[in-house]
Each structure stands twice: as C-alpha cells, then as structure tokens.
Amino acid sequence: MDQILKIKLGREVKDYLSITFGLICYALGWAAFLLPYQITTGGVTGISAIIYYVTGIEIQVSYFIINAVFLGFALKILGPKFSLKTIYAIFMLTFLLWLFQALLKNPNGTLPQLLGPGQEFMACVVGAGLLGFGIGIFCNNGSTGGTDIIAWIINKYKDVTLGRMMMYCDIVIISSCYFIFHDWKRVLFGFCVLFIMSIVIDYVINSSRQSVQFLIFSRKHDEIAEGITKQIDRGVTLLDGTGWYSKQGIKVVVVLAKKSQSLDIFRLVKDIDPNAFISQSNVVGVYGEGFDKLKIK
C-alpha cells in the first residue's frame, strides 16, 4: 500500500514540475518577445494581451480575472471537470507573467525589445517557439483553462467539436487586433504565432511518444530476449521463422520500445551476438502497458 502511495505521489510531483517548467517557458515567451513587440495570439492570454495594448492593464491581471469568471461558469454548467492542476496552472501562470515582466522591465516601466527595433517577425518566431514548447510540455498534465472552458461549455449544447470551437475562438481573438492597430501586419503576426505554436506543440508531444519496433534474427535469441527483458525493461515476443535460402528454422525476437531506448538495445545485441541481423522501424502508435493508453469510446 505504501509503495503504491509513493508511486502515485511521485507521479503527481512529476506532473506539477512539468506543468511549472512548461508555464515558465510560456510566460517567458510572452514577457520577453510578444508583449514588447505588441504581438498577440489566441486564447485568454491573447485577449489579455489586447487589453494590455489598449489600456495598459498588465496581462496577468486580466488573465486571472477572465479565467476566474470562466471557471465560475464551468463549475456551474459542467461540474467539477477541471482538476486542481488547472487551478494551479492559472495561479502559477498569473504569478510567472508578473514575475518575468517585473524582472525585464526598464526603469521607465517599459518592456525592452531584446531583439532590437523592427524585429517583430523574429520576435514572433522565438516567442511562438517558447509558447509552443511550454504548452507541449504541460498539455498532457494540465490545462490553463481559458478558451478550453468556452469550448467545453458550447460543446455541451451544440454539436461542434472542441478543436473546431477553439479554432473559431482563436480566429476571432487574433482578427480583433485589426480594430486596435488598424494594421493587417499585426493580424498576420498573430496567425504566424498560432501556426508556429501548433508545429512546436506537435513536435514536443510526438517526440516524447515516438516508439520503434525491432526484429532481431539471432541464434542467441534466448540471451538477447533475457537481456532486453531484464536490462532494458521491455517486453519481448519470440516468433518462429524459416530462412528461405537455408530452409532452417530460426527464432525472431520482436521488441517494441521507446526511441530513446534504441541505442541501449543495439549495444546489448552487439555485445551478445555481433553477427545478429537487426531491423528497426518507426511505429506510428503503440498502445498498452508501458506505452500510450487506448482511448476509444
């Protein structure tokens, strides 16, 4: 019982650390690159940035107020769907947005353009990269609320997918920049941020989930299977095969592993049987124990 509790506690601590690190990257992207160059994007943070450009009210203030209102509606309409991690993320991001702005501000109270004047596009690229990297890290462990909540509420009453609803929200938020700056360039920068963010998010998420499949042909299949099971901690399956040329039977060692474990498997096989024949291929998805959970209704 104590062992299970320790495992669950360790998993929760790891989740909160991941959320915090992701939020640090996200807040830094806003404070260091997007806000000084007056660039926005979708979500509640984008709305808060627009309010900041118009009124001077700091982004973290309006971000917190809007999310507090949304959470109130969400708890009333949807029930307690959003976990403590979402509430933690909202409070932590509010603090981090304030902290980074306080650290970066000039004595006159303005945020410096770290890349120099006239570098809006580069600020857009770097800022979007940080935002996407941050979201990619914490999106599997929590949510920052915002337009996620709007999408859930509308999805409850209308037959509109969550992804499409969030896309509509982001388009409206980014397009509204034109009415403030009267400059379509700002709108395009906003969509560039959204596009780059989505690419980086996909890359971060998919890179952590990449799996590979090994087919290992060796006379020392027993030693290899035992080594992979004990040293690499991966399951092994043995298949019966027949060499067409030699007409001799052989065991084929089949292994599904994380891409990061590939080098360890190659080294282990080489140490046991340098003449082994190995085939490695990337796998689109692996579901089950030790990999992703199968989520089908």
Residue 261: pLDDT band (50, 70, 90) is confident
Q: What's the pLDDT tens digit per position in 175-201?
A: 888 888 888 888 899 999 988 988 888
Confidence check: pLDDT of 266 > 60 = yes
Comparison of pLDDT for 166 and 105, the residue scoring more: 105
Q: How many CB atoms lie within 10 A of CB 166?
A: 20
Quick one: pLDDT at residue 163?
Answer: 54
pLDDT confidence of residue 168 = 75
Can you tell me the distance from the alpha carbon of 19 to that of 136, in angstroms, rounded to the nearest whole number? Answer: 10
SS3 label, residue 257: strand
Mean pLDDT of 140-148: 58
Query: Is pLDDT of 123 > 60?
Result: yes
Q: Is the pLDDT of residue 236 over 70?
A: yes
- Distances in whole angstroms, Cα of residue 42 to Cα of each of 39, 96, 135, 172: 11, 19, 13, 8
Q: Is the pLDDT of residue 75 over 90?
A: no
DSSP of 81-125: -S-HHHHHHHHHHHHHHHHHHHHH--TTSPPP-TT-TT-HHHHHH
Q: For residue 149, is pLDDT > 70?
A: no
Name residue 242's beta-bridge partners.
Answer: 249
Surface-to-core class of residue 44, CB atoms within 10 Å of its CB (0-12 exposed, 13-18 middle, 19+ buried) = buried
pLDDT one-digit tens code per residue, 7-35:
778 778 888 888 899 999 999 999 999 99
The overall average pLDDT reported for the chain is 82
Q: Round the CA-based radius of gyration of the chain to a whole number and report it.
A: 25
Q: Which of 26-35, 142-151, 231-240 has the highest mean pLDDT?
A: 26-35
Q: What is the pLDDT of residue 158?
A: 60
Tell whether pTM > 0.75: no
